[in-house]
Structure 1
Amino acid sequence: MMDGSHQEIDLNADLGEGFGVWRLGDDEALLDIVTSANVACGFHAGDPVTIRRTCAAAVDRGVRIGAQVSYRDLAGFGRREMEVDPEELCAEVLYQIAALDGIARAMGGEVSYVKPHGALYNRVCRDREQAEALVAAVADFSPALPVLTLPGSVVHEAAAAQGIATVNEAFADRAYTPEGALVSRRLPGAVLHDPAEVSARAVRMAVEGEVTARDGSRVALSARSICVHGDTPGAVTLARSVRQALTDAGVRLRPFA
């Protein structure tokens, strides 16, 4: 497991999530704020033109590119949990990483890490079989790529068995359960929108290594990267506020990859 000092943190966001004429979020503005970009690979969002533009913009700004792999679920934006045969899931994750890396390299960059998206992210945190399928795909492509996941996720054990590094991630704009999991988006209050609240949570995560769960209890977490979502209303303002608050608190913004 890779974990740096709490005074050094990576700020990541989900980008490249448009599709065709549909645009989601302000990727250009977010790329001026974050240090790592989780780029959609076409399975939950993203298309070749969007991927190419996002990778080129990330390279121009020195932002690390991560493959945000997902279930094959464009209609559901990758947020619907699916039953997929492990071999098929492994192949589909491998396909996504390879496609994104090919475009990233053509733009002068490369894929530096892997982060599952949506329902797959949550599923592999607790489902060893799917976690192993995810890790097997990463190992097939490049054992040097770390995987972003929650502290306590079964991905850590599955990755260790394959010699793959993992990086702990925290979510400044998501509510937590007392067990340290993310509150389901189907429940009210799962996504936080107030810049002051989200920024304060990010600083506490980075400096104190903890977050307040939805029941008021304190949850310890050790994170090297903090995510701010790019598809929520006011995402740019939120991300800018988080970056400023972290900097003001003496936290150095630096990619983990």
Structure 2
Amino acid sequence: MRDAELSGICLTRRGLNRVDSRSPRVNEGFVKSPSERVGRGAGDGEDLEGIGPVPTIAWGPLLGQATTVAEQDVPGDLVDRRRAVRDLGRALRALGTDSVMSEVPTKILCQARLLVAEATSILGATSRQAGVPSSVDDPYNGVRMFSPMTGEGSPFVAPLSFETVDGVASATCTFGEAFEGPPHHVHGGISAMLMDHALGHVVADSGKPGLTRKLVVQYLRPVPSGVELLVRGRVVASGDGDVFAQAWIAAAAEPGTRLVTADGHFRLLRPEQAAKLMKQFA
């Protein structure tokens, strides 16, 4: 397939703006949210948004290791590959949105299927085995390019970017039709995933990262799709290796009306437990 033909997979009716990393709409896809994480490396000063570390998912502190890599020490070829993974993830999210919303003639759908099948063949020509770390990942320092909710390479969900003020972390996102359960409303399982992620973020951000031990979700009102949502969370108590946190979802236009709430119980990992989970990255 010629490069021009393959690029057509990304250049859908609205996809071009989303794929362009300079556009304010780059995070539109199955889920959209602002991403403010910027990495550095060879080619500093170029477009490096979304390829740097996310401190709240770094495993180095769990292992009691000071493993942070100096930004300028990231090899240039790794920076380039992370950038390519990021851009591919954004293009796939744009493709997913357009495939759900498209009403083009059936003949065009069939042509698009052939293009996607060809792209699948190209990408699958060299693959890593399940359980083998990605060449672009660095979990010790918080780089997980394909992780849902944090990875720019995810074909499904754009990463959330939280800001913490007075102990309350906040982020915004929008779930499209691809995530609906009831018509025009977000599937409850997606809300639960969002709550688990928000809780995990605030727990890690408190300086006591751990894993979910118990998650209790209450669905108070239906969560509308296609509407900007506000996600918030905070730690409420900690002690004896346990951290307790609360999170909630509201429409951004009505922040005082909670749609979904969650209570999370997190257990801090001992270094030897973290090492066991991370042994494949040793």
| Greater C-alpha radius of gyration | 2
Structure with more contact order per residue of length (Cα contacts < 8 Å, sep ≥ 6):
1
Q: Does the alignment reach a TM-score above 0.5?
A: no
TM-score, with length taken from structure 2: 0.29
